[in-house]
Amino acid sequence: MLLLGHGRSNLARIGLSSISIMSHSRSTLEQLKQFTTVVADTGDFESIRKYAPQDATTNPSLIFKAVQQAEYRPLLDKAIAEKRESSLAGEALHRAIIDDLLIAFGREILTIVPGRVSTEVDARLSFDVDATVKKARYLIALYEKSGIPRERVLIKIASTWEGARAAEICAKEGIHCNLTLLFSLPQAIACADAGVRLISPFVGRIYDYYKTTTGREYSGAEDPGVQSVEKIYTYYKKFGYKTQVMGASFRNIGQIESLAGCDLLTISPDLLEELQNSNKELVRKLDPVEAAGAVVDRISLDEKMFRWMLNEDAMATDKLADGIRKFAADIVKLEGVIRKSL
């Protein structure tokens, strides 16, 4: 039909149509991968294979969910069998099995993704610098014993003041960290000042808080979770921080589209599928050059200022505490599964 017109204007339309068709022939997910590193937020191996992300992240909730499924139960059974005859007992045995299980999932994931896997420190250590560093060293040692170089692993730590200090020590030892449960700029600044490799601001949980407290529905640039990541991204690029920003905890693809251009985005399988099945044209929203030119005041942050600024942010205070409690609860549930199996 396009060939039945006359003159240059019609040829121009043909050319424009061809360009448009080429643009829309790529899925939204493929478009996103052009300027953002896509990370799979799951412990499900088949989902990771399906969407071919660069990296993958896990957390206690995802691992607990995974071991309820028959196909992943052998990983738990193997971790239990290998530790059953050890000299450990009680809680020490349960924790050692969980650590082995986390590493088993991480090893399998690294056979699928070309990049890195994030493995989480027990959330109950979120306010203990020494214990967090000790656990990070232990987890990295388990990976290295399995032949996995530490460059392919990110140790996930909650974005408390103590978490940032632990990550700072780890960074000096070449242990790269992913600071999670991040809801505010002071948390982001503390992490960047500590020299951490990556942070995970939780878009969806911020959105949840404001939707619940205000009764409003948010979308696009009005979404408080999107605004939080934009603010952090701009601050980092403005002042030349090397710490990467990885948006996390998404509720819908609109939030993802609004953060296209962020360093990384970690996305659940259901939203990856939506992006894969969509051919909507994607426009880059976050740009490092534009961010570097923004007018932003630099904040000098010590522990007192960190705690005060966090205290003044009711949402961040609430969601950080809530997130730590929920991750800790899922660790306890996982320990219960292990206790029954033993």
Place of tokens 């996982």: 334
Q: What are the tokens at 184? A: 């505010």
Distance of alpha carbon 79 from alpha carbon 74, whole angstroms: 8
Q: What is the DSSP string of 316-333?
A: HHHHHHHHHHHHHHHHHH
Pick the catalytic residue from 135, 156, 237, 285: 156
Whether 116 contacts 156, CB under 8 Å: no
Q: Exposed, middle or buried, 266 (CB in 10 Å: 0-12/13-18/19+)? A: buried
Report phi then psi at 27, rounded to 5.
Answer: -70, 160
Listed in sequence order, the residues at least 6 apart from 295 whose beta carbon sits closer than 8 Å to its beta carbon are none
Active site residue 65: no
Distance of alpha carbon 29 from alpha carbon 23, whole angstroms: 12
Distance of alpha carbon 251 from alpha carbon 110, whole angstroms: 26
Phi/psi class of residue 41: alpha, beta or left (left: φ > 0; alpha: ψ in -120 to 50)? Answer: beta
In the three-class reduction of DSSP (H, G, I as helix; E, B as strand; rest coil), residue 135 is classed as helix
Q: What are the tokens at 111? A: 């056979």
Catalytic residues: 156
